[in-house]
């Protein structure tokens, strides 16, 4: 399985996944042009895609979904709640390209088995995804207000996990955001802090996870080095040495590497 975080951050999200004969885009939260050019950098085109999967209807996840679907005749997969929020925002989508799945029920796109699982976030019905192919498991979970047992069990034993490491709580509290927005981000249905991402990974270490990518960093309230050091620090506090857990970073404005998972 191939995984490429094209962009990740509060300003826009999109990831590329490829298995034997399936190419999937998860979220399309930038311009169509930016996504096309990022795909081109890894030798792909949107025309290669079999589907666009959407996590939830916030703009940083859906911005180019309609454009790409119309331009390349691509099916968009989302649950009913996300479709309700998204359809008025992305323009006309051909009926045949409106694919509705049920949260917590797995489905297939060609040779990939996909499990959308519920995430706690302030949107209609947001999800994370686990992808299974040939005994490999890849999971993506961002836009999560807090961790819970359902999330941990949804992503346990992933060979690679993209997890949100959104903000540093102190930077957020001291920063320029209005009070209501700070409260929203810090709430149980907001975003996961660096510290809480580290705690989640420490728990997941005991449940088979050894490789993670940090994503969906806030532009205002975080920076890459701080997120990485905070998460690493929490892992060390939990007696998990650096050599036992590989951490990598995604970026808001460029490709975060091409990962071959075997």
Assess 168 for contact with Zn ion (CB under 5 A).
Answer: no
58 lies in the site for Zn ion, by CB under 5 A: yes
| Gyration radius from the chain CA atoms | 17
Q: Which long-range contacts (CB under 8 A, 24 or more apart) does 11-16 make?
A: 11/60, 11/219, 11/252, 12/60, 12/63, 12/252, 13/55, 13/60, 13/61, 13/142, 13/215, 13/216, 14/38, 14/64, 15/140, 15/162, 16/42, 16/44
Does 60 help bind Zn ion (rule: CB under 5 A)?
yes
**Is 44 among the residues that bind Zn ion (CB under 5 A)?**
no
Task: Please say which residue, 60 or 125, places its beta carbon nearer to Zn ion.
Answer: 60
- Min dist. Cβ of residue 194 to Zn ion (A): 16
- Rank residues 58 and 133 by Cβ distance to Zn ion and give the closer one: 58
Question: In terms of CB distance, is 122 or 195 closer to Zn ion?
Answer: 122
Say whether residue 143 binds Zn ion (CB under 5 A). Answer: yes
167 binds Zn ion (CB under 5 A): no
Closest to Zn ion by CB, 63 or 69: 63
Cβ(260)–Cβ(4) below 8 Å: no
Plot region of 250 (φ>0 → left; ψ -120 to 50 → alpha; else → beta): beta
Sheet of strand 246-249, all strands in order from the earlier edge strand to the far edge: 107-109, 112-118, 127-133, 136-141, 160-164, 211-215, 246-249
Contact status, residue 234 vs residue 199, Cβ threshold 8 Å: yes
| Choices 76-84, 110-118, 140-148, 234-242; region in contact with Zn ion by CB under 5 A | 140-148
Is 164 a binding residue for Zn ion by CB under 5 A? The answer is no
The C-alpha atoms of residue 215 and residue 250 are separated, in whole angstroms, by 5
Nearer to Zn ion, 177 or 205 (CB): 177
| Residue 143 or 168 with smaller CB distance to Zn ion | 143
Convert residues 193-232 into a mask of x (bound to Zn ion by CB under 5 A) and - (unbound): ----------------------------------------
Distance of closest approach, residue 225 Cβ to Zn ion, in angstroms: 21
In the complex, which residues of this chain contact Zn ion (CB under 5 A)? Answer: 58, 60, 143
């Amino acid at each position: 399985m191939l995984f490429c975080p094209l962009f990740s951050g509060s300003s826009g999200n999109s990831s590329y996944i490829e298995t034997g004969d399936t190419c999937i885009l998860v979220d399309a939260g930038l311009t169509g042009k930016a996504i096309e050019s990022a795909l081109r950098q890894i030798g792909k085109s949107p025309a290669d895609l079999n589907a666009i999967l959407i996590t939830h209807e916030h703009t940083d996840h859906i911005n180019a979904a309609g454009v790409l679907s119309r331009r390349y005749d691509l099916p968009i997969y989302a649950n009913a709640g996300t479709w309700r929020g998204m359809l008025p925002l992305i323009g006309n989508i051909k009926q045949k390209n409106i694919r509705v799945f049920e949260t917590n029920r797995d489905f297939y796109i060609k040779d990939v088995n996909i499990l959308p699982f519920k995430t706690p976030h302030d949107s209609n019905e947001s999800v994370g995804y686990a992808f299974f192919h040939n005994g490999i498991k890849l999971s993506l979970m961002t836009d999560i207000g807090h961790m819970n047992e359902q999330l941990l069990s949804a992503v346990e034993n992933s060979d690679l996990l993209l997890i949100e490491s959104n903000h540093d709580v102190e930077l957020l509290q001291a920063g320029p955001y209005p009070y209501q927005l700070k409260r929203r981000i810090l709430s149980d249905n907001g975003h996961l802090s660096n510290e809480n991402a580290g705690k989640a990974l420490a728990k997941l270490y005991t449940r088979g996870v050894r490789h993670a990518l940090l994503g969906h960093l806030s532009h205002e309230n975080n920076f890459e080095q701080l997120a990485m050091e905070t998460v690493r620090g929490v892992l060390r506090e939990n007696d998990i040495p650096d050599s036992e857990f590989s951490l990598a970073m995604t970026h808001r404005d460029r490709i975060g590497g091409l990962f071959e998972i075997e």
